[in-house]
Amino acid sequence: MRIATWNVNSVGARLPRLQNWLESNQPDVLCLQELKCDSDAFPHEEVRALGYETAAYGVGRWNGVAVLSRVGLDDVQRGLADQPSYEDAIEPRAIGATCGGVRVWSVYVPNGRVPGHTHYDYKLRWLNALRETVEAEKKLDLPFAVLGDFNIAPADTDVWDIAAYTDSTHVTAPEREALGRVLEAGLTDVLPRPLKYDQPFTYWDYRQLAFPKNRGMRIDLVLADPRFAGAITDSYVDREERKGKGGSDHAPVVVDLEL
């Protein structure tokens, strides 16, 4: 089984690339983030033509997550257990589904903006809700993983230059500690195998030639329970999809399993 995650940064803008990527890489399950569309506006028919069912969760031009599967799509849950609100709204940032006997969640963790901002506090509360959801999902007794854009670099080596992120989000101790509490619920951070560079990044800013200079971050993660992690035969970042005009600023992360 092949399972992948990808922040597409607008599924409407990226639809041709999404279709091409599905055809060329043939994932069994694909978790998407940052759809930037309503659930009904997701291109369901276009991906169905390629053999995929879709569970989407979006409410407007921001955020949004989805799970695409060609091995079944059951027990869909939209939103975390006790998910906090931001500015009186529950944002579409998490969706879970069972696909071919594997339980997956596609998550788009809040950015946090800057330390001390209300959005930063929201990010920490959101991660606490994610931990509670992970604890609840373990009761389903299925191989299980949380995949998506976590907007956190777990270690200093997961950014191209830690000095460039002084007083910035994504690398602060409270964020990493909150991520650590999610992992303490019984998950492992799956490290992609480097194909070109020693440190595989997943995100590069559009500005200042960040991608050609490999000034990136590893913030798109796969957090797996022991059964999921123990079945992994390969994992990598598809840097090729980040190349060229019209791509997302994130690259897909792919995990192959032998279940």
Q: Residue 199: pLDDT band by 50, 70, 90 thresholds?
A: confident
Rounded to an integer, what distance in angstroms lies between the CA atom of residue 10 and that of residue 187? 29
- Residue 246 region, left (φ>0) first, then alpha (ψ -120 to 50), else beta? left
The string of DSSP letters for 107-149 reads EE-----STTSHHHHHHHHHHHHHHHHHHHHGGG-S-EEEEEE
15 is written with which tokens? 């639809």
Residue 156 has pLDDT above 90, yes or no: yes
Q: How far is the C-alpha of 89 from the C-alpha of 17, rounded, in Å?
A: 31
Per-residue model confidence as pLDDT tens digits over 118-146: 999 999 999 999 999 999 998 888 999 99
Determine the Cα–Cα distance for residues 15 and 39; give it in Å rounded to an integer: 15
Percent of the chain scoring above 90 in pLDDT:
93
Tokens of 183: 């992992």
Q: What per-residue confidence (pLDDT) applies to 167? A: 84
pLDDT for residue 104: 98
And the tokens for 47?
């991906």
Instruction: Give the pairing type, strands 220-224 and 74-78.
Output: unpaired
Structurally, the chain folds into a number of domains equal to: 1
Q: Does the structure show a pLDDT above 90 at 18? A: yes
**Tokens linked to 259:** 């279940």
For the domain that residue 10 is a member of, what is the CATH number?
3.60.10.10
**What is the SS3 assignment for 40?**
coil
Q: Encoding tokens for residue 131?
A: 């931990």
How many residues are given for the chain?
259
Burial of 15 (0-12, 13-18, 19+ CB in 10 A): middle
pLDDT for residue 250 is more than 90: yes
Query: 């969640």: which residue's tokens?
Result: 105
- The percent of residues above 70 in pLDDT, for the chain, comes to 100
Residue 197 confidence (pLDDT) above 80? no
pTM for the full model?
Answer: 0.97
**pLDDT for the residue 52:** 98
Q: How confident is the model at residue 195 (pLDDT cuts 50, 70, 90)?
A: confident
Q: What does the pLDDT look like over 39-98, one tens digit per residue?
A: 999 999 999 999 999 999 999 889 999 999 999 999 999 999 999 999 999 999 999 999
Q: Which residues lie closer than 8 Å to 33 by C-beta, 6 or more apart? A: 5, 6, 7, 8, 64, 65, 106, 107, 108, 148, 149
- Half-sphere exposure (CA, 13 Å, Cβ side) for 128? 10
Domain of residue 71: give its range. 2-257
Say whether pLDDT at 254 is over 90.
yes
